[in-house]
Structure 1
Amino acid sequence: MGSATERPSHPPPRQFPVLDDCLQLGGVLLTRLAERVGRTPFYAYERDHVRSRIDLLRRTLPQGVQLHYAIKANPMPALVCLMAPLVDGFDVASAGEMKIALDAGMAPSAISFAGPGKSNAELRSAVAAGVLLHLESEEEMKRAAATGALLGLTPRVAVRVNPDFELKYAGMKMAGGAHQFGIDAERVPAMLRQLGRLGLDFHGFHLFCGAQNLSATAIGEAQRLCVDLALRLAEHAPSPIRTLNIGGGLGVPYFPGERPLDFPAVADGLHAVLDTLNAAAPGARLVLELGRYLVAEAGVYVCRVLERKLSHGQTFLITDGGMHHHLAASGNFGQVIRKNYPVAIGNRMYGGPRETATVVGPLCTPLDMLADGMELTRAEVGDFVVVFQSGAYGLTASPTAFLGHPGPAEVLV
């Protein structure tokens, strides 16, 4: 299983000019990048890819759709600062993320704060800053009102709705049934009446059905249903809708056989959705909240081979990186059946003998695996293992404290 054969290399398709150069020139520039970082492992994110992705969306989306970046996808401060002038707003899920958004120069009025279990301290910070609170429960609504009274401020709020439908084919479903997210749709009318009595500044609704979806048809159907539901609920609201956040859920291909999302088809569907919203709620802003779709393909994770090991005929490449830095690539971040992310030996992308190898890290658990039985160019000690599609849900979604190994560096190139 570990024997090497001479075969042409077929690296994963790439879209990032700077990182492409690092790989195509025999690893020379990749080595220089590693020298610049000073160590492995590291994450590298490419500015031009982020800019070009947002430019594509701007050219394709109908006018009137606002584009927000969900910071949870990748909260690296330098990346968030890059995003600030390119998008219309930020969406955060903690006081820490809110601080990153404010430090990046985003106006408080263009920041929304979602997520269940907001602490009283987080509510005070959000109300004081003037960001838009996405209320996740009736109890949170009461605490927000009490916070406003304490500070002498009127909290800006939107109601997050748990709809009675789900996003088909979503990699992670977040609506349609019992969930910790949002208020069940049938309870929202009563909540809206109470919200009016509490004197909160109502702005609209937030509906997010699921993540990592590659079906333009399913996304379009969910977006239509979201707008229809929001308009029905708006009949019970204390004031007209000013903003409707329909989430995102746009996926990127990670695994063999997956095809990129047909984004122009998604944009076409949004024209009809926007027309429906404008007819019923003139002046309301339609917000598309994206995270993964903006940054996932803009990043790579790079680690170095420490040792080649043979066990029962199987070749293991033991690296200085792994699950503690990149939980998603290990298959432990929501995968039901583990699949390999696109992985390559970065300084041996073209030509050379091939072999089937398993790439693992230094942790004392069999879960610490970056590639399982994958065909790769034969790697030697010191070579670079590159994990593609690593710009989203990488470092901050990983158990970096496990076993006390040093954390990876991050660079924006």
Structure 2
Amino acid sequence: MSAPAEAEPRSATRAGETVLPVPLEELAGVPTPAYVYDVAEVRRSQAQLRASLPERTGLYYSLKANPHPALLRTLRAGGARPEVCSTGELAAALEAGWAAGEVLYTGPGKRDEEIADALVRGVRFFSVDSPHAIEQLSRIAGERGAVARCLLRINDDEPVPGQGLAMTGVASQFGADTSWVLAEPARFANRPHARVVGLHLYMGSNLCEVDDLVGQFTRSLRTARSLGDVLAAHGVRIEVLDLGGGFGAPFAKAGKVPDLRALRPALETLFDEQIPGWRDGGPEVVFESGRHLVGTAGTLLTAVLDVKRSHGKDIVVLESGINHLGGMAGMRRLPPLNPALVAAQEPLLEGELTALVAGPLCTPLDTWARGARLPALRPGDLVAVPNVGAYGLSASLVAFLGHPLPAEAVVDSDRPGTPPEISRTTLIRQGVID
């Protein structure tokens, strides 16, 4: 893992007013460190995104963003379907109340055992990335007397400008290159027990501008039309177009989900041009979202363990570090960590710090920020990190050095005064750790 980048200074404000979803007093029984999830914010984000997409389109929730049961139940109630890519995520989806027939099972490589487990549980819809993956799915489904439906994931030949995290146009484990499918379409056709029913085109991630989203969906649909024509000659009928998503959200900094209301009319026009009959029973168009639906619903609340001076710098040591938040940032799969830190109660001391903020791990890599502007803090004070509902606890380095796991607490800001629901960590429930 590379050393964290130098942080830009961040200003602190009262978390009770601007960050925590409920007053701090209502969290008095929650042990720290804790991830606090607000299901009301999940409902709001889901409703806003649903209103930004055309009618007659479907929406999948990518469990990789956060598989907490309360969030899953909220999203299921709002009409989302589950997209999973592991046995643990599948179990979480089924436990949350989704039927196996609603599940889309994705991932660039699947072991025979996990495919078999999914089929036994009733899953019949998979994303596949190669001819081998189609053969593998057909073989295992045939052994169980089943026929699976599958989406052929495509890695387009060029990336689309404006992507936050490129998922196509580069050498990748995800999908089959467009040029490969065009050159050898027969290899991507139906098998006896695996029927190719559509295309999976996930171009990029964390896009916050409507124009960037429209650009990637336009490219996806042009690619889909050329592939559909070639595959049709080999018996493949496109019934589903999964356009992925890439809908952005702030991570570990202040802000709200981007306003995407202008996306709906732009997509309706685009679909009318590119997808004949989509309004009247033509191919079903579906989208995927993770961070946009739950990112702003989570706050990490953590205590100050120590405050000191070292070589002329203020040092603040917290209960939480890269073991609880930001482990993936070191793999460059998320933006550099550099979180906004906000005092969770009115500071008792006067003054301000410009501090290096570190966690409790026995490594100099455990650094969140090097120039964070904070109120004067003392051991025992609380700080909060906003907008970490996605890629927070479940994407962290919790096994490194064996520190205790954060608690997870669920609140509903639409129901003030309701006691928080404190639960066992999702990672334990999924069997990731004992």
TM-score range normalised by the length of the shorter chain: 0.7 to 0.9
In 2: Cα distance, 1:232 partner to 1:300 partner: 44
In structure 2, the partner of 1:322 is: 321
Which residue number in structure 2 is paired with residue 372 of structure 1? 370
1:272 maps onto 2:269 in alignment: yes
The alignment status of 1:392 with 2:390, answered yes or no, reads yes
* Letter aligned with residue 298 of structure 1: A
Q: Once the 2 structures are TM-superposed, how far is the Cα of residue 402 of structure 1 from its aligned partner?
A: 0.4
Structure 1 counterpart of 2:82 = 90
Deviation at 1:331, TM superposition (A): 4.1
Residues 358 and 373 of structure 1 are in contact (CA less than 8 Å); yes or no, is this contact kept in structure 2?
A: yes
SS in 1 for 2:365: coil
> Which residue identity does 2:399 align to in structure 1?
A
Report the residue type matching 1:186 in the other structure: S
**Letter in structure 2 aligned against 1:383:** D
CA 374–124 in structure 1, closer or farther in 2 if over 3 Å, else same: same
* Structure 1 residue 204 displacement after superposition: 0.6
Which secondary structure state, in structure 2, belongs to the residue aligned with residue 264 of structure 1?
coil
Distance 1:285 1:271 in 2: 13
- Structure 1 residue 103 and structure 2 residue 95: aligned? yes
Secondary structure of the structure 2 residue equivalent to 1:332:
helix
The secondary structure found in structure 1 opposite 2:51 is helix
Aligned pairs (5 A) from 1:185-224: 185-189=178-182, 190-191=184-185, 194-224=188-218
Q: Distance in 2 between matches of 1:290 and 1:274?
A: 19
- Contact 2:12-2:342 within 8 A present in 1 as well: no
Aligned to 1:250: 247
1:358 aligns with: 356
What amino acid does structure 2 have at the position aligned with 1:63? E
Deviations 1:147-184 (A, max 9, x none): 01111111111111111132323232111021110111
Does the 8 Å contact 1:161/1:183 carry over to 2? yes
1:20 positional shift: 4.1
1:54 match: 46
Residue aligning to 2:131: 138
Q: Which segment drifts farther, 290-299 or 233-242?
A: 233-242
1:253 to partner: Cα distance: 3.0
Cα offsets for 1:234-272 (capped at 9, x unmatched)? 121424222111111111234889996341233332212
Instruction: Using the TM superposition, name which of 250-259 and 390-399 deviates more.
Output: 250-259
One-letter amino acid of the structure 2 residue matched with residue 353 of structure 1? G
Q: Distance in 1 between matches of 2:186 and 2:349?
A: 64
Kept after mapping to 2: 8 A contact 1:90/1:112: yes
Q: TM-score, normalised by structure 2?
A: 0.84
What is the distance in 2 between the residues matched to 1:298 and 1:292?
A: 10
The CA distance in 1 between the partners of 2:72 and 2:54, in whole Å, is: 24
CA contact (8 A) 1:342 1:389 kept: no
Alignment of 1:94-173 (within 5 A): 94-128=86-120, 129-173=122-166
Distance 1:192 1:215 in 2: 38
Tell me: CA distance 1:367–1:272, structure 2 relative to 1, closer, same or farther (3 Å): farther
SS at structure 2 position matched to 1:121: helix
Query: Is the alpha carbon distance of 1:153 and 1:203 closer, same or farther for their aligned partners in structure 2, counting shifts above 3 Å?
Result: same
Deviation, structure 1 residue 64: 1.4
The residue type paired with residue 241 of structure 2 is L
1:98–1:259 distance in 2 versus 1, CA, 3 Å: closer
Residue 101 to residue 356, structure 1, CA distance change in 2 (3 Å): same
344-353 vs 396-405, greater mean Cα deviation: 344-353
1: CA distance, partners of 2:399 / 2:251:
26
Which structure's residues are more often helix, by fraction? Answer: 1
Letter of the structure 2 residue corresponding to residue 221 of structure 1: G
Shift of 1:191: 4.7
Residues of 2 paired with 1:168 and 1:46: CA distance? 34
| Structure 1 counterpart of 2:139, one-letter code | A
Q: Name the residue aligned to 1:283.
A: 282
What's the TM-score, normalizing by structure 1?
0.88
**CA deviation vs aligned residue, 1:193-249 (integer Å, no higher than 9, x gap):** 553254522221111111112232121111011112112211214242221111111
Which residue of structure 1 aligns with residue 172 of structure 2?
179
Counterpart in 2 of 1:241? 238
Tell me the CA shift for residue 120 of structure 1: 0.4
Gaps of 5+ in 1: 1-7
Q: Aligned equivalents of 1:167 and 1:250: distance in 2?
A: 15
CA contact (8 A) 1:10 1:350 kept: no
Partner of 2:4: none
Cα distance in 1 for partners of 2:345, 2:299 equals 14
Q: Which amino acid aligns with 1:161?
A: I
Displacement of 1:15 in angstroms is: 7.3
The 8 Å contact of residues 167 and 219 in structure 1, kept in 2 or not, is answered as no
Deviation at 1:74, TM superposition (A): 0.3
Distance in 1, Cα, partners of 2:73 & 2:312: 48
- Partner amino acid, structure 2, of 1:318: V
Select 1:263's aligned residue among 250, 256, 260: 260
Question: Does the CA contact (< 8 Å) of 2:257 and 2:296 recur in 1?
Answer: no
Quick one: structure 1 residues 84 and 259, their matched pair in 2 at CA, closer, same or farther if it must change by over 3 Å? closer
The 2-side partners of 1:217 and 1:395 are apart by 32
Q: Indicate the percent of aligned positions where both proteins have the same amino acid.
A: 32
Contact 2:126-2:151 within 8 A present in 1 as well: yes
**In 1, Cα distance between equivalents of 2:65 and 2:252:** 19
Alignment CA distance shift 1:46-1:98 (3 Å): same
Q: Which amino acid aligns with 2:133?
A: E
Mapped contact 1:69–1:291 kept (Cα < 8 A) = yes
Matched-pair contact (CA < 8 Å) for 2:128–2:151:
yes
Letter in 2 for 1:47: V
Three-state SS of the structure 1 residue aligned to 2:172 is coil
